[in-house]
Amino acid sequence: MRAEDDMHLTAHEYTIALPAWIDDELADVPDVIPDLEDRMRLVHRLADRNWREGNGGPFAALVAESGTGRIVSVGVNVVLATGVSSGHAEVTALGLAQRAVGGWDLGAADQPDHELVVNWRPCVQCYGATLWSGVRTLVVAGSGPELERITTFDEGPMREDWAARFEARGIRVVDGILRNEALEVFQTYRDAVDAGGVDVYNARRG
């Protein structure tokens, strides 16, 4: 017999889900996007819509097969929508890609090479999430302090040699794909925040 004060966990599971508008946004997007810039263009489009929909920050990601450009998954920041602070675009895209391929290791021997495409250098959490995911390439639009300066989001204490540490683990880093377009998304978001009316969230600050 259980005592009154025995533990009754309120939550046994949580779900990270794409917002409903994703299918609408992807309706005219082909399964295979051979050009890397075009893949980043899709990421920017999703990032821009994401904050407008009140789903979270202006961040998006996708996982593709590097060789063909076949899109395996997309992700957006769903922190506000799911109420789970780890639900960044990269974590979402990587988890969905792993669900799609049926296992936790996107770099398994029977897998084609996978890449993660993101609209800026990942925060410290997603840096680690990328390391453990099995992707062989990280593609970012940019990696400088502009993201934090424009959006005011805290990206956490990253190591200066973050890219070298990726490379040391066999993950190639491609930087500077449609960089200006990324900054335009961030600036548009920031302008909207300054004008009021955007449901802003942010994590703990220093």
Decide if residue 109 touches a copy of itself (CB under 8 A).
no
Provide φ and ψ at 115, rounded to 5°. -125, 150
- Nearest Cα to 36, choosing from 73, 75, 62, 59? 62
118 is a contact residue toward a copy of itself (CB under 8 A): no
Closest listed residue to residue 50, CA positions, set 34, 64, 68, 62 = 62
Closer residue to a copy of itself in complex, CB, 53/154: 154
194 three-state secondary structure: helix
**Which of positions 76-95 make contact with a copy of itself (CB under 8 A)?**
79-80, 82-87, 91, 94-95
- Using CA atoms, how far apart are residues 161 and 159, in angstroms rounded to an integer? 5
Angle subtended at Cα 76 by Cα 73 and Cα 77, rounded to the nearest 5 degrees: 145
Q: How far is the CB of 30 from a copy of itself (least distance, A)?
A: 5
Under rule CB under 8 A, residue 98 binds a copy of itself: yes
Q: Would you say 77 and 88 are in contact if contact means Cβ atoms under 8 Å apart?
A: yes
Considering only residues 69, 107, 175, 187, which one is a binding residue for a copy of itself as defined by CB under 8 A? 107
Give the residue from 158, 118, 162 showing the smallest Cα distance to 140. 118
Which residue among 64, 74, 76, 150 contacts a copy of itself (CB under 8 A)? 74
Q: According to the binding rule CB under 8 A, does residue 12 interact with a copy of itself? A: yes
Please report whether residue 168 would count as binding a copy of itself according to CB under 8 A: yes
By CB under 8 A, is residue 96 in contact with a copy of itself?
A: yes
Q: Give the number of residues in contact with a copy of itself, rule: CB under 8 A.
A: 77
> Which residues inside 120-149 make contact with a copy of itself, applying CB under 8 A?
123-129, 131-134
